[in-house]
C-alpha cells in the first residue's frame, strides 16, 4: 500500500508539494481551511469585474512546466499563459515616465533617450543581474540548499566571496551601476517580489531583474486564478484528495515523529508524513505548541512586509497605464525605512498598480478599468496595532498619489471598491502577521535564507511555501513544493 502524506494548506506551495508527492506514487490528502484552493492566489468577482486578489505577475514559468512534467503532462494543456512586451511602466511625480520592456536592447534605447548615459549603465547592470541569477539558480534553487553551511560547502569560496554579491546591500550595488536616482528607485524596487527593503537585502537579490528579462514576465489568460484551477485539475487527475473548509488544529506527535493531524471538527487523520503549507512560525506555535526557547530561535525568520490591497472598478479607462505600473515615492529610502526598520505606515509609499484589461479585456465590463493598488506596509503589530481608520487614511493617500501622476478625477469614476488590510490577509491565509511574501530577506537577520524544508524537531515533518527556502512568490513556492517532495521521498523511501 502507498504511504500516506498529509498536506496542510492548498496554497501554490501546498499544491505543488501534493502534486510532486502524488507523482512519486504517494497517497496524498490535502486539507485547507478556506473554501477554495490557491491560498493567496485568489480571485474576487464583483459586478462584472474580476480582481486577482494576490499575485498578478507570473515569472519563471519553466518551474510550473517542471511540475506538470513530473507526471508527463504539459502546462500548456491546462493553463494559457502569455508574455508581456511592456514589463513595467514607472511613473514619478516630477513627470518622468520610464518603461522596461521584454527586449533589453529596446529598454536600453528607451532609457538612453530619456536619461542620456543610462542605456549603457542598464546593459552592464543586466549582465551583473544575470550572473547573480545563474550562481543562485545552479545550487540554491536547483539543489534546494537550506542552510549557511550548505552554501559554504556547495559553492566554492572564490564563487561565494568574489562572484556572488554578498558584502553589499542591493541598493549599494544598484547605486554603483546607475547614476540617476529614478533608475536607482526602479531597480531597487525589484525587491518588491520578496516584500523586503533594498537597503537591507543582500546584493545578490539583484538577480530579480534577470528573472524578468531572461525568462519573461507572463500573464495567465482569463485571470491569474486560472493557474490555481489548472493545478487543481492536475491534482484531481492524480487522485489527490482535497478537503476544503477543514482547518487543521493540531499535528499529532509521538516523540520525534509526527503521526497525523486533528481537524477543527475533532476528526483525526493518520499519516506517514506531514507537509505544512501553513507558515513555519504559526505552524510551530499553533499546530505543534513549540516551547518558547525554540520559538525565539525562529525570530530571525521575521515576516516580510504586508500590503494594503485596494481593488478599484472604474467606469472609465486611463490609457496612459500599462498592464503593470509603479508610482514612486519621492523618497524611497524613507519609505523602506518606515516600513522595514521603524514598522510604521509609510507617509509617501511606492505603489504597484496593475491594470490587467490592457492584456485581457475580460477582466472588466466594456469601457471600464480594473485596478489593483498595492503599497507595501508593515506586518501586523500585535502590541501597537494600526487602527482601521489609519488604513483607510492610507488608502485615500494612495488614491491621491495616482491623481498626482495624472489619473485625473479617479475618485469620481470608482464604482466598485474593496480593501484588504494586513489583518484581513492574516485572517484569511493564516500567514505570519499578515505577511504577503513569507520571510523578509535581510542580510543581517537571515542573509535572505528562509526556514529549512525539513523540520529540525520531527523526522517526518516538512514545510513548504513562502516562509521556506527558496522563499516567496509563485515560482519559488512552486519550486519549494518540488524540493520538499524530494526531501520527503528521500526519507520515506
Ligand X SMILES: Cc1cc2nc3c(=O)[nH]c(=O)nc-3n(C[C@H](O)[C@H](O)[C@H](O)COP(=O)(O)OP(=O)(O)OC[C@H]3O[C@@H](n4cnc5c(N)ncnc54)[C@H](O)[C@@H]3O)c2cc1C
For the CB of residue 419, give the shortest distance to ligand X in the complex, in Å.
Answer: 12
Task: State yes or no: residue 61 binds ligand X (CB under 6 A).
Answer: no
Q: Quick one: cell of 235?
A: 491534482
**Residue span binding ligand X (CB under 6 A) among the ranges 4-12, 72-80, 102-110, 124-132:** 4-12
Task: State yes or no: residue 472 binds ligand X (CB under 6 A).
Answer: yes
Residues 330/220, Cβ–Cβ less than 8 Å = no
Task: State yes or no: residue 230 binds ligand X (CB under 6 A).
Answer: no
Residues 106/54, Cβ–Cβ less than 8 Å = no
Residue 51 backbone phi and psi in degrees, to 5: -100, 130
Classify 353 as helix, strand or coil. strand
Task: State yes or no: residue 350 binds ligand X (CB under 6 A).
Answer: no
Task: State yes or no: residue 482 binds ligand X (CB under 6 A).
Answer: no
Q: What is the CA radius of gyration of the chain?
A: 22
Nearer to ligand X, 130 or 428 (CB): 428
For the CB of residue 111, give the shortest distance to ligand X in the complex, in Å.
Answer: 23
Task: State yes or no: residue 465 binds ligand X (CB under 6 A).
Answer: yes
- Count of residues touching ligand X (by CB under 6 A): 36
Task: State yes or no: residue 325 binds ligand X (CB under 6 A).
Answer: no
For the CB of residue 366, give the shortest distance to ligand X in the complex, in Å.
Answer: 26
CA distances 327 to 74, 189, 477, Å, are 37, 11, 27
For the CB of residue 253, give the shortest distance to ligand X in the complex, in Å.
Answer: 15
Q: Which of residues 365-394 bind ligand X (CB under 6 A)?
A: 374
For the CB of residue 51, give the shortest distance to ligand X in the complex, in Å.
Answer: 10
Nearer to ligand X, 203 or 307 (CB): 307
Count the alpha carbons within 13 Å of 35 in the hemisphere toward its beta carbon.
1
CA–CA distance, 311 with 313 (Å, rounded to integer)? 7
Task: State yes or no: residue 260 binds ligand X (CB under 6 A).
Answer: no
Give residues with Cβ within 8 angstroms of 112, minimum separation 6. Answer: 118, 119, 120
Task: State yes or no: residue 474 binds ligand X (CB under 6 A).
Answer: yes
Residues 91/100, Cβ–Cβ less than 8 Å = no
Largest Cα–Cα separation, the chain: 67
Q: Quick one: cell of 233?
A: 485539475
Q: DSSP characters for 74-130?
A: -GGGT--EEE-SEEEEEE-TTS-EEEEESSHHHHHHHHHHHSTTHHHHHHHHHHHHH
Among 187, 336, 391, 430, interactor with ligand X by CB under 6 A = 430
Q: Which of residues 82-141 bind ligand X (CB under 6 A)?
A: none
Strand order in the sheet with 248-254: 248-254, 257-263, 268-270
Nearer to ligand X, 155 or 463 (CB): 463
What sign does the CA torsion over 28, 32, 35, 37 have? Answer: negative
Task: State yes or no: residue 56 binds ligand X (CB under 6 A).
Answer: yes
Residues 16/235, Cβ–Cβ less than 8 Å = no
For the CB of residue 41, give the shortest distance to ligand X in the complex, in Å.
Answer: 5
Closest CA to 182 of 402, 339, 330, 321: 330
Among 7, 22, 309, 405, interactor with ligand X by CB under 6 A = 309
**Residue span binding ligand X (CB under 6 A) among the ranges 295-303, 336-344, 398-406, 465-473:** 465-473
Task: State yes or no: residue 440 binds ligand X (CB under 6 A).
Answer: no
* Helical segments of 178-237, H only: 181-188, 208-215, 225-237
Nearer to ligand X, 60 or 368 (CB): 60
Task: State yes or no: residue 275 binds ligand X (CB under 6 A).
Answer: no
List the x/- string, 7-46, binding to ligand X by CB under 6 A.
-xxxxxxx----------------xxxx----xxx-----
Task: State yes or no: residue 211 binds ligand X (CB under 6 A).
Answer: no
Among 429, 458, 462, 463, interactor with ligand X by CB under 6 A = 429
Task: State yes or no: residue 278 binds ligand X (CB under 6 A).
Answer: yes
For the CB of residue 194, give the shortest distance to ligand X in the complex, in Å.
Answer: 9
Judged by the rule CB under 6 A, the positions of this chain that interact with ligand X are: 8-14, 31-34, 39-41, 54-57, 247-248, 277-278, 307, 309, 374, 429-431, 436-437, 465-466, 472-474, 477
Amino acid at each position: 500500500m502507498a504511504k500516506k502524506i498529509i498536506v496542510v494548506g492548498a496554497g501554490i506551495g501546498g499544491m505543488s508539494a501534493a502534486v510532486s508527492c502524488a507523482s512519486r506514487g504517494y497517497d496524498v490528502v490535502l486539507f485547507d481551511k478556506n473554501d477554495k484552493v490557491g491560498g493567496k492566489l485568489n480571485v474576487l468577482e464583483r459586478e462584472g469585474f474580476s480582481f486577482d486578489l494576490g499575485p498578478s505577475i507570473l515569472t519563471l514559468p519553466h518551474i510550473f512546466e517542471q511540475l506538470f512534467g513530473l507526471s508527463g503532462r504539459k502546462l500548456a494543456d491546462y493553463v494559457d499563459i502569455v508574455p508581456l512586451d511592456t514589463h513595467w511602466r514607472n511613473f514619478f511625480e516630477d513627470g518622468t515616465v520610464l518603461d522596461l520592456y521584454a527586449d533589453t536592447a529596446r529598454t536600453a534605447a528607451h532609457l538612453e533617450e530619456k536619461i542620456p548615459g543610462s542605456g549603457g549603465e542598464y546593459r552592464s547592470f543586466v549582465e551583473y543581474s544575470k550572473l547573480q541569477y545563474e550562481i543562485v539558480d545552479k545550487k540554491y534553487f536547483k539543489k534546494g540548499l537550506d542552510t549557511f553551511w550548505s552554501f559554504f560547502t556547495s559553492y566554492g569560496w572564490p564563487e561565494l566571496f568574489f562572484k556572488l554579491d554578498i558584502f553589499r546591500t542591493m541598493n549599494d550595488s544598484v547605486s554603483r551601476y546607475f547614476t540617476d536616482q529614478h533608475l536607482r528607485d526602479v531597480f531597487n524596487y525589484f525587491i518588491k517580489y520578496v516584500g523586503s527593503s533594498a537597503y537591507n537585502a543582500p546584493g545578490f537579490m539583484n538577480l530579480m531583474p534577470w528573472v524578468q528579462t531572461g525568462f519573461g514576465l507572463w500573464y495567465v489568460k482569463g485571470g491569474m486564478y486560472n493557474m490555481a484551477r489548472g493545478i487543481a485539475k492536475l491534482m484531481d487527475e492524480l487522485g489527490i484528495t482535497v478537503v476544503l473548509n477543514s482547518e487543521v488544529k493540531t499535528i499529532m506527535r509521538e516523540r520525534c515523529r509526527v503521526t497525523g493531524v486533528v481537524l477543527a471538527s475533532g476528526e483525526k487523520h493518520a499519516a506517514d508524513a506531514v507537509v505544512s503549507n501553513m507558515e513555519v512560525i504559526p505552524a510551530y506555535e499553533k499546530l505543534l505548541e513549540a516551547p518558547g526557547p525554540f520559538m525565539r530561535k525562529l525570530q530571525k525568520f521575521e515576516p516580510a512586509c504586508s500590503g494594503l490591497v485596494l481593488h478599484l472598478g472604474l467606469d472609465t479607462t486611463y490609457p496612459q497605464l500599462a498592464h503593470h505600473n509603479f508610482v514612486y515615492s519621492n523618497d524611497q529610502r524613507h519609505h523602506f525605512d518606515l516600513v522595514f526598520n521603524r514598522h510604521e505606515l509609510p507617509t509617501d509609499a511606492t505603489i504597484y498598480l496593475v491594470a490587467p484589461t490592457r492584456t485581457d479585456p475580460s477582466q472588466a465590463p466594456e469601457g471600464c478599468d480594473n485596478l489593483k493598488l498595492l503599497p507595501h506596509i508593515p506586518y501586523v503589530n500585535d502590541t501597537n496595532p494600526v487602527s482601521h481608520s489609519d488604513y483607510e487614511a492610507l488608502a485615500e493617500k494612495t488614491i491621491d498619489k495616482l491623481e498626482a501622476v495624472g489619473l485625473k478625477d479617479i475618485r469620481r469614476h470608482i464604482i466598485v471598491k474593496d480593501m484588504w488590510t494586513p489583518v484581513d490577509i492574516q485572517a484569511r491565509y493564516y500567514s505570519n502577521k499578515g505577511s504577503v511574501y513569507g520571510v523578509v530577506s535581510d542580510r543581517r537577520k537571515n542573509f535572505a535564507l528562509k526556514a529549512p524544508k525539513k523540520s529540525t524537531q520531527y523526522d517526518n515533518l516538512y514545510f513548504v511555501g513562502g516562509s521556506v527556502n527558496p522563499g516567496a512568490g509563485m515560482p519559488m513556492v512552486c519550486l519549494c513544493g518540488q524540493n520538499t517532495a524530494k526531501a520527503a521521498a528521500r526519507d520515506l523511501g
